[in-house]
Amino acid sequence: MTELHDLTALEQGALVSSGAVSPRELTDHYLERAARLDDVGAFVTLTPDAARERADSLAVGTGGPLHGVPTAIKDLNLTAGVRTTFGSAAFDDFVPDVSDGVTLSLEAAGLVSLGKTSTPEFGSPCYTEPDGLPPAVTPWDRTRMAGGSSGGAAAAVAAGLVPVAQGSDGGGSIRIPASCCGLVGLKPSRGRISGFPMYGDPVGLGTAGSIARTVRDAAALLDVLAGRREGDPFWAPEPSSTFLSACDREPGRLRVARFVLPVIADVAVDPECVTAYEDASRLLESLGHEVVDVPVPLPHEAVPVFETCWAVLTALTVVPPEREHLLRPLTRWLAEQGRAVSAPEFGLAIGAMRRYAADALRALAPYDAVLTPTLAMPPQPVGALRDDADPAADFAAQKAFTPWTSAWNVTGMPAVSLPLHWTADGLPVGVMLAARPAEEELLLSLAAQVETAAPWSERRPPRWRPSSSCATRPR
């Protein structure tokens, strides 16, 4: 018996397009699951009335492949009339009067948001443990973290509470939770998705992206989110066709660079992560690709430059003075470091980071893709990284957990985490592929080829329970 949540997002969209299922039926199905089964810390706010009203307003057979499909919006993204806390107790009652470009794009494509997914304070940590709320955990082991900062979104998709969700990624915040939750996490190229209307990242590290169970679903969501808006400071060139159609094209024989040495931390890589990386290398070779060992393309000297920019970005967040005491110790520590950086120092750091990025891009230019582990460890127990008593130790632990992902934020390259490995005790371990800037089509073509060769979508975490509504559809 196949239930609606067993289907991919694209399969659900096809049912809506054909009239076999209505947007309201899908919305009710997932609202029931989200209300009953969210023991993974996925949602901060559910908006059932607005979701049902939205679903009822959608015409059938008039939209794209995800028209009528339920989703959710990260609590960093502005949603007009819906509380947006940015993961912080300092903004626990903030309700914006405008929506950002990500929200508007989802609405324009006919997706139905069920509410806001959990994120850590201002999306900074790589774990999702906001004060006063349950931590976001991986459905594969609910004692372990879902990762961050898009941990709530990944937990929601992995637990079958929504079929697909957007996240945001300034240092790995899509790919980290994708690895922890056994999902596809796609960070697109710099400028691929508009930062309208806030444009709050002058460094260019962050972007929205896709979290999904399959590569095709991730590509379809990228089609929804991608595009330039008037006033954007930078943008990626238009693709030759849809990103979804790229998944149906053979990538050809590619040169794939690989390295396993951590970039931003001197840390021993867990054997499970090395095994995932080596297995992925052999899989790529079996598909006809040339896999070449290369040196780490970013030097250790780039790390403090990145950290300077990261601290200043934290300091740029404007918090009402009377609410600053509600900020977490890690946020206050980072902000203090950021405020100690002078304007000339910040400008010099941005310039240095761009030069390091240029050197890395030149070094990797001969290769069509780059393979690394996604994380240095399988998903860790809740609280294992967080250290409110010593924020410096907290930050160091985060770097040790995720020593590769931020490299592709620095270079602006598209990157995707793929769930190719599980440990003997059932924990997911991702591997990461990156491509040249603006070459998402090639990256998705390769990722889809890998998924076909080593499929993962039929894996189900514990408690992938049937819905009480018993809404079923044949495949």
**pLDDT(474) > 60:** no
Active site residue 88: no
β pairing state of 112-117 and 70-74: parallel
For residue range 380-425, what is the model confidence (pLDDT) as tens digits? Answer: 999 999 999 999 999 999 999 999 999 999 999 999 999 999 999 9
For residue range 254-288, what is the model confidence (pLDDT) as tens digits? Answer: 999 999 999 999 999 999 999 999 999 999 999 99
DSSP states along 146-210: --SSSHHHHHHHHTTSSSEEEEEESSSTTHHHHHHHT-EEEE--TTSB--TTT---TT---EEEE
Mean pLDDT across the chain, nearest whole number?
96
Active site residue 116: no
Q: Provide mean pLDDT across the span 462-475.
A: 64
Active site residue 187: no
Q: Are 66 and 224 in contact (CB under 8 A)?
A: yes
For residue range 194-246, what is the model confidence (pLDDT) as tens digits? Answer: 999 999 999 999 999 999 999 999 999 999 999 999 999 989 999 999 999 99
The encoded tokens of residue 74 equal 């990260």
Q: Are 379 and 419 in contact (CB under 8 A)?
A: no
**pLDDT(458) > 70:** yes
Q: Which entry of 88, 118, 149, 281 is annotated as an active-site residue?
A: 149
pLDDT score for 467? 60
Q: Which entry of 17, 118, 173, 281 is annotated as an active-site residue?
A: 173
pLDDT score for 61? 77
Domains and CATH numbers, the chain: 4-453 (3.90.1300.10)
pLDDT score for 470? 47
Q: Are 392 and 158 in contact (CB under 8 A)?
A: no
Q: Which entry of 74, 116, 187, 399 is annotated as an active-site residue?
A: 74
Q: Provide mean pLDDT across the span 447-468.
A: 91
- Would the pTM count as exceeding 0.85? yes
What percentage of the chain carries pLDDT values higher than 90? 96
For residue range 184-195, what is the model confidence (pLDDT) as tens digits? Answer: 999 999 999 999
